[in-house]
Amino acid sequence: MTQPAKQHFIPLEFDLFAGLDVDKTSLSVTFTDHGNTYRSLKMPYGADSLLNYARKQYPGQKMAFVYEAGPTGFGLFDDLTAQGQVCLVVAPSMVPRAPGQRVKTNRLDSRQLSEGLRGGQLRSIHVPSSTYRQLRHLVQLRDSHVGQLKAAKLRIKALLLYEGIAFPDAPPTNPWSNKVLRQLGQLECNPTVRFKLNSLLGGLDFHRLQAAATHKEIRRFCQQDPDLKASLRYLTSIPGIGWIVASHLVARLGDWRQIQNVRQIAGFLGLVCTEHSTGDRVQRGAITRAGDARLRNKLIQAAWRATRKDPELDRFYWRIYNRHPKPVAARKAIVAVARKLTTRIYAVLKQQRPFAVRSAPLTPEETTAPGDASTDLRRQTE
């Protein structure tokens, strides 16, 4: 998310601009002023050494700092802002770079950041507070265990297929029940395959338990914070959005007070169209797919559930579906539904109220929506 408007950076209000290239042990710093005076140096990582040097060399000057978001996190931002300094954290993909530049060093990167800051070309991302950072850790951990759980299931099926062993009979709705797991533990096979299968089953059980424990911890963490608890209650009132999607949304969007407009969430999730227009020609393409891909995928899944729970969204789905050729109609329609969900997310968070489902009468166009056969087609595309 972008920095709030009230924190919009104005270069003319500052005398000195410091671009920082940060790694785990050191800082490459370039100081620039309005007179194109440069000074570059390297120093140990830490806000104290940086500020001591800057105050000694540039006494009485108002400074601004900038660095790229990366693996070092937001610790440097916290330390600088705690001492009353202005610091921007920018997305690496949004830093302007010369197309013909073939030399890259830490010093040149810091100089580029310093010049961009002085020229007002850089826009800070929203730096989440400590609460939302902790929630992000938990959400990422849950997704990691869920991903490993899926991978373990695929490895087990691949092993049985390779060895020509039939997978135990199981209902399609619950192919990994406790009964199936017991049967997998009792399959007849040679000692080597048995050892590998037991190892995979152990990994499956471990990640299943860890995912459940992490989910429980997320619930406990959110229940302790009034803001998180309220936001989750409002988000889960939207048809299709469950607790897992809601917790991921809150973790990634951060403080709802800093969401500026209804378009911002869709742009953040990459659900807006790319565009390459010039003159009178308007050319729009596929969605940008920016932001968190896992959250975008979860919201798409929530959109499928929402069409079954909310008649208004179901009619909206078929209205978009009927406008496009059959090979791409379902995909485009469900993305449109997900985009519509972002407006509901914005509304419940900004107005701090649960969502109320309304039943609108059918329009003549909506009464032509396909029947059961097309519903089956839609389910096959999920």
Residue 28 vs residues 3, 314, 366: alpha-carbon distances, Å? 25, 54, 61
Residue 98 vs residues 8, 18, 109, 343: alpha-carbon distances, Å? 25, 20, 12, 37
What element of type H or E holds 218?
helix 191-224
Q: Residue 19: pLDDT above 50?
A: yes
**Dihedral Cα 108, 114, 115, 120, nearest 10 deg:** 150
**Domain 5-118, what fold?**
Nucleotidyltransferase; domain 5 (3.30.420)
Beta strands in 143-290 (DSSP E): 273-275, 284-287
Cα radius of gyration rounded to whole Å, the chain: 26
What is the separation, in whole angstroms, between the first and last Cα of the chain?
29
d(CA 113, CA 17): 9
Q: Within the chain, which residue ranges are assigned CATH 3.30.420?
A: 5-118
d(CA 54, CA 59): 8
Sequence-separated (6 or more) residues with CB below 8 Å from residue 112: 19, 95, 97
pLDDT digits (tens, 9 = 90+) for 32-69: 999 888 899 999 999 999 999 999 999 999 999 999 99
- Which pLDDT does position 3 carry in this prediction? 39
Residue 145 vs residues 134, 152, 215, 298: alpha-carbon distances, Å? 17, 10, 10, 16
- Which pLDDT does position 360 carry in this prediction? 54
Better-predicted residue by pLDDT, 172 or 134: 134
- Which pLDDT does position 361 carry in this prediction? 53
| Mean pLDDT, the chain, whole residue set | 90
**Confidence grade of residue 284 (pLDDT, cut at 50, 70, 90):** confident
